[in-house]
Amino acid sequence: MSLTLMKHRALIAAALAPLLLASCATPSPHAPEARPDDTAGADLLSAPDGATAPKASVPAQASPPATAMAPAAPGSGSTGSRIVGGYDAPYGKRPWQAEIRTLGQGKYTAAELQRAPLWNWTHLCGGVLIAPNWILTAAHCVTPELQKRNLLVQLGAQDLRQPGWFFTMDRVVANPWWSGEGRPEDIAIAHLKPSAAMPVPAGAPSYRPIPIAGFAANFGPSVKGQDVLVTGWGRTTEDNPNAARAASAELHPVTPPVLQEVKLTTVDRLTCANGLHAAGQSVQYADLVGTLCAAGAPGHDSCNGDSGGPMVRERGRKEYVLVGLVSWGAPQCGTAPGVYTMVESYTKWISLVMGPDVAGIPK
C-alpha cells in the first residue's frame, strides 16, 4: 500500500503502544456504541468453519531521528500506507480527499505557525470529507499522543506544492472499541474549523463531501469481486525516508506531491487472511470483522502515508461512494491484500457522533 503500510504504522505503534492499549482497549462507559454492524456485506463477513490463522503480533519498527524534518508515520505493522503501482489522480476529480499533516512537537503561537515554511509541515495521513466540516480517518492517525502535536487538515489539494484550504480539528472522536495498531475498528471522525494560522487561497473552495455506503441512496452492500479505487499521497517506494529527506529541501521528497490512485478489487476475508499469513502476518479471521480487504495486481496497493484515506466504489458513471478507509496490511506493500475499515458497518456510530450534522452527508 502507498498511509510500507507496515513501516509507516509501526513507527507510531512502537512509540505509542502503551498509551494506545491503556486508552483504547476499554471503551469509555459514556462513549457511543461503536461495534461494527455485521449485517452488511455478508459474504465478506462470515468465515467458513475452522477458517482461522495464528494470531498476529505486529513487529516493532525503529523510529526515525527526532528532527524537525523527520516524517511523521502512523501505525504499527503495516498501518501507515502508500499508493504503490498507481498513477496521478485526474485533476479535481477527487474533491473529498483530505490530508492530515503535522509540524511535530512543541507549542507554537498562531503567528509562529503562520511563519513556519510549508515544507516544514510533514505529511501524516489521509482522510475523507463526508459532510461540511466533518472528516473520517483512521483511529491510528489521531491517537491522543498525535493530537498533542500540531495537526492540520488540508482540503481541496491535488498537488501539495499548491496549498489548499487548511483546518484544525476542534473535536476528534476515535472509535472507543479500537484497541491498537493492526486491529479492527480503526476509524475516527473529526470536526473541522478553519485555521487562523494559514492563508486562505483565492477563489471558491474546490472540495466537497462524498456519499457514504450505508447512507447513500441506490447503492448496494460491499461484497467480494467489486472494483474499488484508493487514493493518497503516501510513499511510492521502499526507499529510506530520512535519507531522502536529508538530501532534499523539497516539500515531500519521499512522497509524491501529486495525489495518487490505484485500482483494486475486494476479496473475501478468508482469502485476505490467507494472503496476509503467506506474507508473514499472523492474523485471526476475527481480526477482519468490520473490515474490507482489497488486492490488485502484484505491486499494486496502498501503503505508508495513505492511512485513513478513502476507498471508493463507483455508483454511476464517474460518481463515487465511500466504502472503506485505509487501515493496515503486509510489511511489504503489494504482496498481500490490504485491510480497510468498512464504513457501512459504522453508520449508527457516525450518526451518534455527528448528531444533526449527519444531515449534511450527501445521499
Q: DSSP letter string over 278-308?
A: HTT----GGGGTTEEEEE-STT-B--TT-TT
Which of 2, 222, 302, 307 is labelled catalytic?
Answer: 307
Closest CA to 8 of 223, 179, 201, 182: 182
Q: Residue 98 is inside which H or E element, if any?
A: strand 97-102
The owner of cell 513501516 is: 7
Catalytic residue flag (residue 81): no
d(CA 103, CA 258): 20
Residue 132 to residue 323: CA distance in whole angstroms? 19
> Bridge partners of 320?
314
21-25, long-range: CB within 8 Å, 24+ apart, which pairs? Answer: 21/179, 21/180, 23/143, 23/144, 24/139, 24/143, 24/174, 24/176, 24/178, 24/179, 24/180, 25/179, 25/180
Residue 140 annotated in active site: yes
Residue 169, CA distances (Å) to 152, 173, 180, 190, 227 in order: 7, 10, 21, 6, 32
Q: Given phi > 0 = left and psi -120 to 50 = alpha, else beta, which region is 147?
A: alpha
Distance, CA of 37 to CA of 289 (rounded, Å): 9
**Amino acid letter, residue 169:** M
Specify whether the CB–CB gap between 199 and 282 falls below 8 A: no
Catalytic: which of 8, 140, 277, 300? 140
> Cβ contacts of residue 361 below 8 Å, gap of 6+?
130, 131, 209, 211, 212, 215, 350, 354
| Among 234, 118, 198, 99, CA closest to 158 | 99
Give the single-character DSSP code of 197.
T
307 has catalytic annotation: yes
By residue count, the chain amounts to 363
The residues that are catalytic are 140, 186, 307
